Amino acid sequence: MILEIVQYGHPVLRERCKPVGVVDDSLRQLVGDMLETMNDANGVGLAAPQVGVALRLAVVDVSHDPECISFLKVGGQDAPLASIMPLVFINPELEFVGPKERDTEGCLSIRDLRADVSRPSVIKARLPQLDGTVLEIETDGLLARAIQHETDHLNGVLYIDRVSPAAKISLRRQLRRLAAEQ
Ligand code: NI
């Protein structure tokens, strides 16, 4: 089922989400719906608060572009990107490794806006899975960026909070309009 994506100005986007405890059928259903919703919206990631659920859960899929990373290690071993796509994770723990890199981001909860965001270029991530296993990965490129962007959502942080002060000024009017539409 395609879910409604909540938009900028909605308070759930500013919540610090609760850890996922028990993984039950309703959570698995939610994950299936989030994947469907992300695909329908042509997004590369979606976090639970974006569909109104304040839980530490997100989905990412960057498989449309196998060249969007320069490496991926799963459990310390080189692995193909497709082997972990689509990526579903709960209660993520991130470690930032590489120097910061600037690239353009958008968000399904902030319609029609894009801006440059500087983020660490390489991450190590501990990503608990629905089946109780833990996926340990190291990667860069769009995958590292998307995991950071979605993990930010779980802490009530949006990419617009991370743009340069100058870019923030030019975004301010558009953001005010979006918030007023809510
Ligand atoms: Ni987003």
Asked, for residue 2, whether it belongs to a domain, the answer is no
Structure confidence at residue 179 (pLDDT): 83
Asked, for residue 68, whether it belongs to a domain, the answer is yes
Identify which of 88, 83, 107, 93 has the alpha carbon closest to the alpha carbon of residue 160: 107
Asked, for residue 1, whether it belongs to a domain, the answer is no
Catalytic residue among 67, 105, 150, 181: 150
Instruction: Look up the domain containing 114 and give its range.
Output: 11-181
Asked, for residue 6, whether it belongs to a domain, the answer is no
Structure confidence at residue 133 (pLDDT): 98
Asked, for residue 36, whether it belongs to a domain, the answer is yes
Structure confidence at residue 1 (pLDDT): 97
Q: Residue 88: which CATH number?
A: 3.90.45.10
* SS3 state of residue 163: coil
DSSP state of 64: T
What does the block give as tokens for 144? 């590292």
136 is catalytic: no
Structure confidence at residue 180 (pLDDT): 85
Asked, for residue 3, whether it belongs to a domain, the answer is no
Q: If you measure from the C-alpha of residue 133 to the centroid of ligand 1, how many angstroms do you get, rounded to a whole number?
A: 26
Structure confidence at residue 69 (pLDDT): 97
Asked, for residue 64, whether it belongs to a domain, the answer is yes
Domain count for the chain? 1
Asked, for residue 139, whether it belongs to a domain, the answer is yes
Backbone phi and psi for residue 4, each to the nearest 5 degrees, phi listed first: -80, 130
Q: If you measure from the C-alpha of residue 160 to the centroid of ligand 1, how many angstroms do you get, rounded to a whole number?
A: 10
Is the alpha carbon torsion for 168, 174, 179, 182 positive or negative? Answer: negative
As a whole number of angstroms, the distance between CA 32 and CA 48 comes to: 12
Structure confidence at residue 146 (pLDDT): 98
Q: Which residue has the tokens 């572009």?
A: 65
Q: Which residue has the tokens 């042509």?
A: 42
Averaged in consecutive runs of 10 residues, what is the pLDDT profile of the chain (182 residues)? 97 98 97 98 98 98 95 97 98 95 97 94 98 98 98 98 90 87 77
